[in-house]
């Protein structure tokens, strides 16, 4: 029987890809970088590579945030301050809080039946305005942002810190739902709780094997009912 549902936020509950697209376009405009598919894809590749380094513990969060813009500027030949750019980008990003299809409906259905816990790898200045804008505090009993926790998913330390703050927490009664195998599913495995991969884009599975896999959020209630 599941009592605790841990949920990732970005691209599980809130549409981070869309928020990122909008904020990036605004930032590019500000810097005079053309908003072309090629430049957006370049940023996306750089950003994914620095985030993987955070997940592997090879870069700190603050180093990574600056490095992604510094690398982008080097590639496109723009002279700009990566710190200021990151601040501008974050301010724009924090104003975007669109839901993933079916997320609000799922939260409505889960509310009152389960203890809902948000576990997000993110920055406080970006996440809190988005959380407030989407009224997520109406649904979640606890909201953990990795920057405040001091560790990132998939580290077990991140989860231990969260579990300490959840009343009557029991690993056997917990599941995590998230869109990333390398942070949410692997994190859940490190924390020894059940895992459900939200594979909306139909990605090919890797050696990280979730207990459950769904392609639409509407399938998640069915998973909980099996447990």
State in angstroms the smallest separation of the CB of 68 from Mg ion.
17
In this chain, which stretch among 7-15, 30-38, 80-88, 137-145 interacts with Mg ion, using CB under 5 A?
7-15
Q: For Mg ion, give the closer residue by CB, 33 or 149.
A: 149
With a CB cutoff of 8 Å and minimum separation 6, the contacts of 187 are 119, 153, 154, 155, 156, 158, 159, 176, 178
Question: Is residue 152 involved in binding Mg ion (CB under 5 A)?
Answer: no
Instruction: State the number of binding residues for Mg ion (CB under 5 A).
Output: 4
State in angstroms the smallest separation of the CB of 14 from Mg ion.
9
Distances (CA, A) of 127 to 87, 118, 205: 14, 11, 28
Question: Is residue 55 involved in binding Mg ion (CB under 5 A)?
Answer: no
CB 209 within 8 A of CB 180: no
Q: For Mg ion, give the closer residue by CB, 11 or 152.
A: 11
57 backbone φψ class: left, alpha, beta (φ>0; ψ -120 to 50) = left
Residues 167-196 that bind Mg ion (CB under 5 A): 179
CA 30 and chain centroid, separation: 26
Question: Is residue 10 involved in binding Mg ion (CB under 5 A)?
Answer: yes
Q: For Mg ion, give the closer residue by CB, 88 or 140.
A: 140
Q: Identify which of 84, 140, 145, 109 has the alpha carbon closest to the alpha carbon of residue 219.
A: 109
Q: What is the dihedral of CA 206, 212, 215, 219, to 10 degrees?
A: 180
State in angstroms the smallest separation of the CB of 115 from Mg ion.
20
Residues 64-103 that bind Mg ion (CB under 5 A): none
In this chain, which stretch among 5-13, 31-39, 165-173, 216-224 interacts with Mg ion, using CB under 5 A?
5-13
State in angstroms the smallest separation of the CB of 65 from Mg ion.
17
**Among the listed residues 8, 20, 55, 152, the single contact to Mg ion using CB under 5 A:** 8
The encoded tokens of residue 158 equal 């991140």
Q: For Mg ion, give the closer residue by CB, 31 or 217.
A: 217
State in angstroms the smallest separation of the CB of 9 from Mg ion.
7
Distance CA 27, CA 23 (A): 6
Count the Cβ atoms, other than its own, within 10 Å of residue 172. 11
**Among the listed residues 6, 11, 82, 130, the single contact to Mg ion using CB under 5 A:** 11
Backbone angles phi, psi at 103, to 5 degrees: -70, -45
Q: Which residues bind Mg ion (CB under 5 A)?
A: 8, 10-11, 179
């Amino acid at each position: 029987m599941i009592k605790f549902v841990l949920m990732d936020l970005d691209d599980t509950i809130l549409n981070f890809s869309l928020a990122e697209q909008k904020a990036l376009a605004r930032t590019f405009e500000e810097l005079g970088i053309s908003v072309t598919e090629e430049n957006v894809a370049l940023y996306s590749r750089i950003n994914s590579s620095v985030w993987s380094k955070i997940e592997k513990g090879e870069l700190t969060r603050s180093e990574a945030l600056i490095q992604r813009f510094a690398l982008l500027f080097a590639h496109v030949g723009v002279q700009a301050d990566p710190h200021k750019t990151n601040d501008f980008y974050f301010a724009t990003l924090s104003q975007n809080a669109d839901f993933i299809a079916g997320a609000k409906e799922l939260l409505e259905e889960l509310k009152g039946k389960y203890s809902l816990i948000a576990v997000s790898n993110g920055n406080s200045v970006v996440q809190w305005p988005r959380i407030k804008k989407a009224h997520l505090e109406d649904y979640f009993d606890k909201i953990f942002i990795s920057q405040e926790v001091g560790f990132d998913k998939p580290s077990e330390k991140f989860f231990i810190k969260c579990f300490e703050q959840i009343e009557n927490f029991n690993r056997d009664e917990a599941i995590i739902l998230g869109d990333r195998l390398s942070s949410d599913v692997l994190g859940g495995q490190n924390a020894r709780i059940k895992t459900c991969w939200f594979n909306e884009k139909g990605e090919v599975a890797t050696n990280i094997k979730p207990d459950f896999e769904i392609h639409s959020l509407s399938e998640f209630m069915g998973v909980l009912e099996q447990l």
